[in-house]
Amino acid sequence: MKDHERLRRMGKHTKAIHGGGLEKKVYGEISVPIFQTSTFGFPSAAEGAARFAGESKGYIYTRLNNPTANALEEAMTLLEGGFAAIASSTGMAAVTTTLLAFLSQGDHVVATDSIYGASRMALQFEFARFGVGATFVDSSSTANIERAIGRNTKVIFLETPTNPTMAVSDIRAAAELARARGAILVVDNTFAGPYLQRPLELGADIVVESLTKFINGHSDVLGGMVVTRNEELHAQIKRMFTLFGGTIDPHQAWLILRGLKTLPLRVEKAQDNAGRLARFLRGHPKVTWLRYPGLPDHPQHEVAMRQMDGFGSMMSFGVKNGLEGGITLMNAVRLITLAVSLGGIDSLIEHPASMTHAAIPREERERAGIRDELVRLSVGCEDFEDLRADLEHALSCIP
């Protein structure tokens, strides 16, 4: 791989472009090759035995390691400022396999109440089948986290900013609390990404991320990533990935590594659009409320100012006539696409209560702030005036 330590001292644009590579070029190539192979040959029986014994670093089988996947892992390690990373087939593979690595029957998790719907369902319904308890709290208040911690709490799982309420949790305060209570702090960094927020630098133990979103940025491939702060945590999670098989495919890894190189450019453009659209929407007569961390009236604006390098391109808002008004809005957009997912170059709009978070019981959704009227907007890289005009037209359709 490239000179990791030298790159660590360079800027974020440089890291995104040059992070990840091969120790030895095959033909002097600039782009990392796609090593589309399931298995690797051994030059001798002794070398094969040495690799299985961990005495040689050579490759064995792509479920265990692959040069293309390793290049992506090195790039993400560099951007997140961690010890090492593990690439996975999806973001949910990153979340669930990480939790599997540390939770046993009788253990307990404290989690953000408005986390991504699938993450909450996994904890609330699936891990519960194996005797793992979970308490969901508004983690924007560190006091709420502290009150929920019990003697058997092994993991604190934060998502910040949250999907879809845009609440912001104080990572540094949560990390201090986790250390004091002997828990592992896991942070889902999908909404911000390493260009805007690096939880490991703020004291978190593990970062999980959906690479499908901002890292890849083109809405055309799935992937996930786990980055740890030390070797011990990495080894424990890597063992779970090896056994449960959530490994990323080499072609997936190559596409995401390709998208990663333009991450700063895309984030800056989308973030600029989002800040301008947030100010436009906040003043619109058809918009009843709006949550965007970059606005001074966001409840955790000061926390976001401290721990983020920018406020990103995600927002949520409500419109007049509640759910019916939101449906009218989403059906009336012509440039923005009505679709789930986020973080791509194209702007997407969706209704979490009936889509991404529909499986969560309604009372629990509303307690977490995911009301029926909430509309989630992922702002892309189109021209601002075109996005503004599209929303202006759609809002005008609301009675």
* Residue 195 annotated among the catalytic residues of the structure: no
Indicate the SS3 state at residue 121: helix
Contacts of 326 (CB under 8 A, 6+ apart): 318, 319, 351, 372, 373, 374, 375
Distance CA 110, CA 358 (A): 22
Of residues 15, 51, 107, 116, which has the active-site annotation? Answer: 116
Of residues 12, 51, 154, 213, which has the active-site annotation? Answer: 213
Of residues 2, 61, 63, 371, which has the active-site annotation? Answer: 63
* Residue 320 annotated among the catalytic residues of the structure: no
> Strand locations in the chain, DSSP E?
84-88, 108-112, 133-137, 153-159, 184-188, 206-210, 224-228, 287-291, 314-319, 337-338, 348-350, 375-378
Distance CA 158, CA 187 (A): 5
Distance CA 329, CA 341 (A): 18
Distance CA 149, CA 109 (A): 8
Of residues 113, 138, 170, 188, which has the active-site annotation? Answer: 188
β-pair type (133-137, 153-159): unpaired
User: 169 near 112, Cβ under 8 Å?
Assistant: yes
* Residue 213 annotated among the catalytic residues of the structure: yes
Select from 266, 395, 239, 245 the least CA-distant residue to 329.
Answer: 395
- Output the DSSP codes for 140-203: TSHHHHHHH--TTEEEEEEESS-TTT-----HHHHHHHHHHHT-EEEEE-TTT-TTT--GGGGT
* Residue 116 annotated among the catalytic residues of the structure: yes
Token pair in block for residue 32: 């990392």
Contacts of 305 (CB under 8 A, 6+ apart): none
Indicate the SS3 state at residue 264: helix
Beta bridge partners of 227: 85, 207
User: 304 near 168, Cβ under 8 Å?
Assistant: yes
> Looking at the annotation, which residues are catalytic?
63, 116, 188, 213
